[in-house]
Structure 1
């Protein structure tokens, strides 16, 4: 199931420049001015609510957000909430974010207004515009809403700025974000430095790893939104073929470091399927959540192949692998799915509730790329392969196709 987003912006230009980041990533995105209209846009992957509250008094801005809360609350746990703020810290950021945090109960807030490609960067907890602290630029002399501080923590928390945890460039680039969030119990306000577009993608990726995205209040400009959309989704590969060709292809991607392999114990899979399937799905979802491609294969080594042949129940193994895939896709996102062997593909499509597939193209002779029609993962790109088909590097080639921008998951 793909993430869906609800963006709350304080003016139309900001609503548009942030919404367009989701459109570029393949989402259907629209802007509304009426919170009551949000429910009618459920088929949109990204909904943007423009409150037009940037240049009004703080109390009035807070009241507008509070009035929208009953409509926003209906999407809690169903969509990722993104509070779009001005990349130069203008507006009623503190008041509006406070209402969202308190009324909707977000335990964790991730904040950075950085937008490096437009010369907005954050270093040591301060926002810079063209290398100058933003409150010392023309933004500090804005006639309607002058920026009084360059500090992220002060902008977001005011006199409670000390409650915010500043996250430095060194911590971000050293991969410390998951550990920092874990240590906090995934609670609190984190203010992030960012000087490059890649920093924003790392912030998004590592937060996705550490906490459910729907439990986070994301606060940022169009820059962080773009960073979220630039996080590369991984591929799930499922191989149930007894073919020596498929086994060689699996070993090729394993030995090349292109996948993390999970090799089920066939005896356990058939003897206690519920327990083994749950354990495999949990491990696979964890690895995929970290952005790693995962290969689940029931026939890549001699012991597995021998156990499968002794059992004489290939259809049960296929059904079990299909149920594992369905469990995984309830927990995490993938760019696409590769399936080879026997009836693996049809069993997976059925387990996902699909009504069919639409044909897209041929990756290699006899290896088609399709999209799932209907079901819980509608639009999911799937590559199917008969066991004996394909070159030695066919699985690697399929990973490349599924992660290319033109073939990623077709979002709502």
Structure 2
């Protein structure tokens, strides 16, 4: 029976959450989109990955409510709405509108917002989100092509997205423990505050938050605030100690790295991997005019067991040039379509290990490979696990990396792990 049903606003974020839940050793299922079939053979933790971060808010809400219905049918009575640890959104949503819609459907008077992930340098203090030592609005996220983050204060970011009052449970409360946090939440609830930003600067803060909020019907945040839930559920008997465990398949050789992310960390990771791998760079302007033929031909010539990477990763100025000439949507679409076609070609050539960087890229690649469900395996870096699936009858391993996650050596680290 499903203990916790999770909805994520993008594919890499979903694997991030699933990987942290899988640290418990308990089986975690990850679905790429809302399954068409009713739930069967469910895991204790079921995660549905959507691609709704930048959709119009009404579309995102409708899709998330469909996911909620499926998870309720799977037996879940507690739910988690997962978004990026940098709170990627705009004044129109989609974090707040989805949260309010889920609250309404579940009859929840209050929920929390905690995108902190200290292990990856994301912390919240007095309601302000930091990336490392930089306020969010001074970090590279200020130049994100789809969701530029120009304010660091989560309450100010959230208020225009919701219709009910927003409040704060600050670090001074959290450091006093779970009882103090429960009292603060009750105080805010009595004042009519439905949306509560909760500070966290360490893993111990996250544990306090999980303990205080574990019985809420709906939690929202980055993946890390859910990390302690399996242990807490095991301790109180909500999760059975004999819950099914994950079994990894045996895989044939052959690997490829496909990168569409243009984040600062991914740029460093691509540069590091090119020192030991053959590479082919995709240019959106060339793809728009000539298609992916040259990249496909290059891939076909590479030995199956060689280290290889195909990437559209580029500096912000190059990205802007392509977007100015093609439009933001088309510049992204031509890259996604090319990387999707290249993933299928790689599979047909015998590749069975896929390292994918970027949320939009991950969605395009998994869709092209026909992957609808993943079983979560070993973690490569905090929040980035290997996942196992089938594609056209073949067992494959896929890791879907959020742009800024992992060390500079991530691509090599990932392939060495499996």
Structure 2 length-normalised TM:
0.50
CA contact (8 A) 1:120 1:129 kept: yes
Point out the structure with max Rg over C-alpha. Answer: 1
**Alpha-carbon contact 1:135-1:149 (below 8 Å) kept:** yes
Q: Is the 8 A contact 1:172 1:199 kept in 2?
A: yes
Residue 83 of structure 1 and its aligned partner are, at CA, apart by: 0.7
* SS of corresponding position for 1:52: coil
Whether contact under 8 Å (1:135, 1:147) holds in the other structure is yes
Change (3 A) 1:34 1:3: closer
Cα deviation, residue 217, structure 1: 1.3
TM-aligned CA deviation for residue 165 of structure 1: 2.3
Whole-angstrom distance in 1 between the partners of 2:162 and 2:39: 38
- Aligned position for 1:379: 242
In the TM superposition, residue 67 of structure 1 has moved relative to its aligned partner by 4.1
The runs of 5 or more residues in structure 1 that have no matched partner are 235-331, 336-376, 381-412
Higher relative contact order, chain-length normalized (CA < 8 Å, sep 6+): 2
Shift of 1:3: 7.2
| Partner residue in 1 for 2:57 | 58
| CA distance, structure 1, for counterparts of residue 111 and residue 149 of structure 2 | 22
- The answer for the alignment partner of 1:201 in structure 2 is 207
Distance 2:35 2:8 in 1: 16
Aligned residues of 2:125 and 2:200 also touching (Cα < 8 A): yes
Moved more, 157-166 or 38-47: 157-166
Equivalence map 1:210-229=2 (5 Å): 213=215, 215-229=216-230
Q: Deviations over 1:310-337 (max 9, x none)?
A: xxxxxxxxxxxxxxxxxxxxxx4289xx
Counterparts in 2 of 1:181 and 1:39: CA distance versus 1, 3 Å: farther
In the other structure, the counterpart of 1:149 is 151
Counterparts of 1:75 and 1:334, CA distance in 2: 15
CA displacement at 1:72 relative to structure 2: 4.2
The SS at the match of 2:227 is helix
Q: CA RMSD in A?
A: 2.9
Q: Is the 8 A contact 1:133 1:150 kept in 2?
A: yes
- Flag the 1:41–1:135 CA change in 2: closer, same or farther, 3 A: farther
Contact 1:21/1:229 (8 A) holds in 2? no
Partner of 2:97, secondary structure, is: helix
Report if aligned partners of 1:5, 1:47 keep a CA contact under 8 Å in 2.
Answer: yes
Provide, for residues 171-202 of structure 1, a one-character-per-residue CA deviation record: whole Å limited to 9, x for no partner. Answer: 11112112223445687322111111110001
Whether 2:140 is the aligned partner of 1:138: answer yes
Structure 1 stretch displaced more, 193-202 or 103-112: 103-112
Q: Which residue of 2 aligns with 1:99?
A: 101
Indicate conservation of the 8 Å contact 1:69/1:104, yes or no.
no
- Alignment match, 2:182: 178
How do 1:309-320 and structure 2 match up within 5 A?
none
2:33, 2:120 → 1: CA distance? 30
Alpha-carbon distance change, 204 to 23 in structure 1, aligned in 2, over 3 angstroms: same
SS at match of 2:113: strand
1:190 maps to 196
Alignment of 1:75-90 (within 5 A): 78-90=76-88
Aligned to 2:26: 27
